[in-house]
A and B are shown apart, each in its own frame.
Chain A
Amino acid sequence: MTIAADAPQSRGAHPVYDMEGMDHSSAVEMEDARLSVFPKAQTRPVLWNVLLAMVALMLGGLPGIGQALERVGINLYNNDVVTAVLDENAAYYQGLTLHGVLLVIVFTFTFANGFITLATMRAYGRPMASTLMVQLAFALALLGTVLAGWTMLANEATVLFTFYPPLEAHTMFYLGAVLLVISTWVTLANIVMTHRQWAAANPGTRTPLMAFMAIMTYAMWAMASVGIAAEVLLLILPWKFGWTEGIDAQLARTLFWLTGHPIVYFWLLPAYISWYTMIPKQAGGRLFSDPVARFVFILFLLLSTPVGFHHQYTESGIPQWMKNIHGIATFAIFFPSMITAFSVVSALENGGRNRGGRGLFGWIWKLPWGNPALTAQLHAMLIFTLGGASGLINASQTVNLVVHNTAFIVGHFHMTIGAVALAYIGIAYWLIPYLTGNNLWGRKLALWQSWLWFVGMLLFARGQISAGLQGVPRRTAFADSVYRDFIDGLDVPNMLTAIGGSMMGLSGLFIFIVVVGTMMGLAVKNKEQLITVAETRVGATKRIWPWLDNYRMWVGIAILLVALAYIPFLVTYVPDGSSAVGAPFDLY
């Protein structure tokens, strides 16, 4: 092996890793992945999905500004304009429910469905197997959004996005959630059908990396979402309809968190697909290794789900030894993200050096920071690094006793989902131009948007983390609380939260302006654009670790691991009726 640069400027001390003689055969053969090669009937629903995601981001973001300002005593929830829309008594929690459901379910699901559908077409170089299913997935998501949105706006579902029974929401709220989940299952089925068609036409060819990742992401999610489906269909709806006398709150929560942790990876993995397969080329470099990237996604398939109890450390219905198993598995799931950190940063370094960067850190400044699509995703990576690290704190059982259900957790997950959201926005900055043929309008504004989000998110999260360590509970209308003056040391954290939240609000306004301007075609029309797909240094042929592509084996092992993690609880936890709650509680 010799180490050489892609471009001739590398120096011995900080070599670019290149492996001459390695296989560079990854899928770039489809250079003309112009929009017009795909059927309009399929790419239009992709655009609709992306636009629905943007609408959810805007509407879901608004209550967030109110929550951040509430920390410094600016209560927008008393405002006449707000109470004209939201219930005057429940406004804070109604807004919080909208914030959660619209951002972590509607925004993420619709964006993933759209983006991954397109990535699948691009990877295989062929349309999806079923046009009807592309359209159906969008229609189901839209209907689910309308149903859930309507019940939330009507104050009939002020139960937060976790909807823990025996809090009770309108039946249509649960139905809306189910339809949104089903839209992802339809997308998976279509991806699998497309894979089969492609495999039949290309025997003996390795699945393109991007398509492999799409399959793994959706397979993981389909397996994981069985928990929430069982919770709603087997426990909540029969209880709502009066078919069962009560509902077991502990069992329902356990099923919720069977899905509730892997849902984070369902948000994250589409961003990882972009970071692995598109970002390297956008930055001017190549991906480090194809087989290692496949291995990472397999680890996510295997380890995302058998970890749910780490959200339940403080619940007394689950024995400690079971929590220990999930706790150790949670440490393991950190590993593939660390491989990702290496692979993505090495591809960025490769890009930066190809663009003339020198020295240990010189390559960083040579990255195309003027490109909003890339800048937003670079910021997202930096935020997510901290989000992941703080997640390891939460997963540490004894430390969890200090931070569980405090604002610390809010700080943590805003650096995970908030990073994913920024990554999606970055993707949208090339995806919307690609899908519409319009150039991105307001590039400067888009760059400001990314920086504002980046700094704002970190300030916000820092404020929430400090407040949590002072004992402020999460999901609480703090300024209205009876104890707001009895917790010390909150002046600075609350100020950071409010400033950070306001910066993100402004950032959201910029997204709105940029997306609307782009959709209206305010920028000059461009020639048809391409979807960039990175080359890899260690290649993508069957020769290297062919067992990686054994889908049945991996899904089988994944199901086995989930069974091992959950069966001990499910068979020993016998709801004898004594722990069931008799009647629904209506507390809003």
Chain B
Amino acid sequence: MEMIHRYERFFLGSTLVILAIGLVAVISSFFVNDLELPSPVETIDPAELASTPPFDNPGVFQVGENEYDAVITAQSWAFVPGVIQVPAGSKVNFKIGSVDVVHGLIVHGTNVNLTIIPGQVAEATATFDEPGEFLFVCSEYCGILHHNMAGRVIVN
């Protein structure tokens, strides 16, 4: 007795093939585009964050020929600093921590998408090849003025 009809077998087989192709595509996209997901950096007591290097002195720091560290603290409801200026062609390492609740960081025009959990330092890197202004916004609800938490990357 045939438990699974041949039409059904064909349908399920196709599904498995589609899923396998999708999985291979996702895995290869990590290597092709040189991507990585946010991973553990370090933990800092949020109450101590503002007095712990490097977050005691947020700002943009040149660390290589075309490379900058953007050290940012997130708090309700602002990023400090709110404006990040770098020359075109710069690689920017975003280092960010929260002093209060959970925030998020989405930098437009890049693949930077971080959840900033109090206690967890978060890092992501993007390269800005073209001059222009790139908005960054808080992407996690953090209180009633969440929608005003934003900043800009200005690429000269």
**A residues adjacent to B (C-beta < 8 A):** 1, 17, 19, 22, 89-90, 93, 158, 160, 164, 166-167, 248-250, 253, 288-289, 291-292, 312-320, 323, 327-328, 331-332, 334-335, 338-339, 342-343, 346, 392, 396-402, 404-406, 471, 473-478, 480-483, 486-487, 538, 544-545, 576-582, 585, 587-588
Contacts and interface: CB of A to CB of B under 8 A. Distances in A.
A317 B117 contact: yes
B30 A397 contact: yes
A471 B141 contact: no
Interface string B1-19: 1111101100110011001
A209 B117 CA distance: 44
B39 interface: yes
Interface in B28-87: 29-30, 33, 35-41, 43-47, 76
A17 B101 contact: no
Interface in B85-134: 100-102, 104, 106, 108, 111-115, 117-123
Contacts of B144: 89-90, 93, 158, 587-588
A1 B120 contact: no
A334 to B, nearest CB: 6
A483 B147 CA distance: 8
A544 B142 contact: no
Most buried by B among A1, A313, A316: A316
Contacts of A483: 135, 137, 150
Given A292-B8, A585-B143, 11 more contacts: A22-B1, A331-B23, A398-B30, A405-B106, A473-B104, A476-B147, A480-B147, A481-B147, A487-B108, A587-B142, A588-B143
A90 B137 CA distance: 20
Interface residues of B, number: 63
Given A250-B119, A331-B22, A482-B148, A471 B135 contact: yes
Contacts of B111: 398, 401-402
B117 A253 contact: yes
Nearest to B16: A335
A167 B16 contact: no
26 contacts: A93-B144, A158-B144, A164-B102, A249-B120, A291-B3, A292-B8, A313-B38, A314-B38, A314-B113, A316-B115, A316-B121, A331-B23, A332-B19, A342-B12, A346-B7, A401-B37, A404-B139, A405-B115, A475-B141, A481-B148, A578-B119, A579-B120, A580-B45, A582-B45, A587-B76, A587-B144
A313 B137 contact: no
Contact of A405 (B1, B35, B118, B140): B140
A478 B113 contact: no
Contacts of B113: 314, 400-402, 404-405
What 8 pairs between A and B have smallest CB-CB spacing? A579-B119, A587-B143, A481-B147, A405-B139, A579-B43, A338-B15, A473-B139, A316-B122
Given A250-B120, A342-B12, A346-B7, A312 B143 contact: no
Contact of B106 (A288, A471, A538): A471
A83 to B, nearest CB: 14
A323 B45 CA distance: 24
B141 A93 contact: yes
Nearest to B114: A314
Interface of B: 1-5, 7-8, 11-12, 15-16, 19, 22-23, 25-26, 29-30, 33, 35-41, 43-47, 76, 100-102, 104, 106, 108, 111-115, 117-123, 135, 137-144, 146-148, 150
A332 B79 CA distance: 39
B101 A587 contact: yes
A400 B75 CA distance: 25
Contacts of B3: 289, 291-292, 538, 544-545
Contacts of A17: 5, 7
A574 B139 CA distance: 27
A160 B146 CA distance: 13
A579 B80 CA distance: 21
A313 B104 CA distance: 12
Given A292-B3, A316-B117, A166 B100 contact: yes
Nearest to A323: B37
Nearest to A573: B40
Nearest to B143: A587
B115 to A, nearest CB: 5
A433 B46 CA distance: 56
A581 B114 contact: no
B11 A471 contact: no
Nearest to A309: B37
A473 B45 contact: no
Contacts of B36: 320
A27 B20 CA distance: 38
A152 to B, nearest CB: 14
Given A158-B144, A338-B11, A576-B43, A316 B106 contact: no
Contacts of A292: 3-4, 8
B107 to A, nearest CB: 9
Nearest to B28: A398
Contacts of A473: 104, 106, 137-139
Contacts of B121: 316
Given A392-B22, A405-B115, A476-B146, A313 B106 contact: no
B150 A406 contact: no
A585 B15 contact: no
A581 to B, nearest CB: 5
A483 B108 CA distance: 12
B41 A316 contact: yes
A288 B9 CA distance: 13
A1 B4 CA distance: 12
Nearest to A91: B144
Contacts of A405: 104, 106, 113, 115, 139-140
A316 B123 contact: yes
Contacts of A334: 15, 19
B64 to A, nearest CB: 23
A328 B148 CA distance: 36
Nearest to B23: A331
B12 A250 contact: no
A474 B23 contact: no
Contacts of B15: 334-335, 338-339
A395 B150 CA distance: 27
A319 B40 contact: yes
